[in-house]
Amino acid sequence: AFDVLVVGGGPAGAAAAVYAARKGIRTGVAAERFGGQVLDTMAIENFISVPYTEGPKLAAALEQHVHEYDVDVMNLQRATALVPATEPGGLIEVRLAGADGKPGASLKSRSVILSTGARWRQMGVPGEDEYRNKGVAYCPHCDGPLFKGKRVAVIGGGNSGVEAAIDLAGIVRHVTLIEFDGRLRADEVLQRKLRSLPNVDVIVSAQTTEVIGDGKRVAGLLYKDRDSGQLHRLELEGVFVQIGLLPNTEWLKGTVELSPRGEIVVDDRGQTSVPGVFAAGDATTVPYKQIVIAMGAGSTAALSAFDHLIRTSVP
């Protein structure tokens, strides 16, 4: 059995594994895809002390750093269930998916760190996948400055969409916020701020139907006016999709306390509702989903797991 088993191999999981292994305890990482969202990222300009890197390069560096230590890395393994210990200080079980729908292996550990991350909800329209990282973006904190002086659209009029539009309006030339519904759903104070900005247009009752490009980069957007049924075209260089971030926690429902959005509820030490089970990164209720934040949270969770281990007697 492991002392610490990390589930998820993104920035949070990698940091947790390094911090745990440095305590000289038996550490394992099971990850569906080691590297996580970082693998899908191109330019990264806010990883402090590294002015510019690219996702695949950072993901390789994460893996290399973890391999500096005696960590059992189990890549391409998807966890399907968590079974809490039956007695205080007992072993926690993580079940893995098997091949062809058959039940897979099961791993046991004295503590577990959940760091399964999240995924952005996609619009599912033509052009979105094709121009991902070529004008289609999901994270204004990450990619906003790449659109300095350009025209962008923000899709989604909830709090995250309106916050993104306000943030981007300070960087880019022009923002068009597009909302499917007849009205914005963001907090009134955010809407007021948005409407006070001179370089923002808001379009409601609009359904984005296609992202248009020139083969290399985004060149515009097609949307349908849901009242008249008419199609319109916007000329722009960027599209920020802000219609939800979905935590990868479906497999934990009913075992670990989740927020209404499905995020794992953690305290400031990364402790979840289950004894000996900690969590970190985008899968949790931590505010702001960023690489450096996930790494900090992963480190916190590992130190908390170690603290838990030295306080519970070895069964």
d(C-alpha 303, C-alpha 252), whole Å:
22
Q: What sign results for the dihedral spanned by CA atoms 182, 184, 185, 187?
A: negative
Among 91, 169, 218, 291, binds ligand FAD (CB under 6 A): 291
Query: Using the rule CB under 6 A, is 59 a contact of ligand FAD?
Result: no
Q: Is residue 41 close enough to count as binding ligand FAD by CB under 6 A?
A: yes
Map residue 271 onto helix, strand or coil: strand
Q: In the set 79, 155, 178, 305, which binds ligand FAD (CB under 6 A)?
A: 79
For residues 256 to 285, the per-residue mask of contacts with ligand FAD, x marking binding by CB under 6 A and - elsewhere, is -------------------------xxx--
- Radius of gyration, alpha carbons of the chain: 21
Signed CA dihedral, 58, 60, 66, 71: sign only: positive
Closest CB to ligand FAD among residues 54, 201: 54
Nearer to ligand FAD, 191 or 271 (CB): 271
Which one of 61-69, 117-125, 179-187, 212-220 is the stretch in contact with ligand FAD (CB under 6 A)? 117-125
Structure tokens at 10: 């993104």
Q: Does 71 bind ligand FAD (CB under 6 A)?
A: no
Q: Would you say how long the chain is, in residues?
A: 315
DSSP state of 85: -
Strand partners, 4: 27, 111
144 binds ligand FAD (CB under 6 A): no
Q: Tell which one of 12, 153, 264, 301 touches ligand FAD (CB under 6 A).
A: 12
Sequence-ordered list of residues with C-beta below 8 angstroms from that of 260, at least 6 positions apart, any chain: none
Strand, coil or helix: what is 285? Answer: coil
The residue ranges that bind ligand FAD (CB under 6 A) are 7-13, 30-34, 36-38, 40-41, 44, 46, 78-79, 115-118, 120, 138-139, 142, 248, 251, 281-283, 289-292, 294
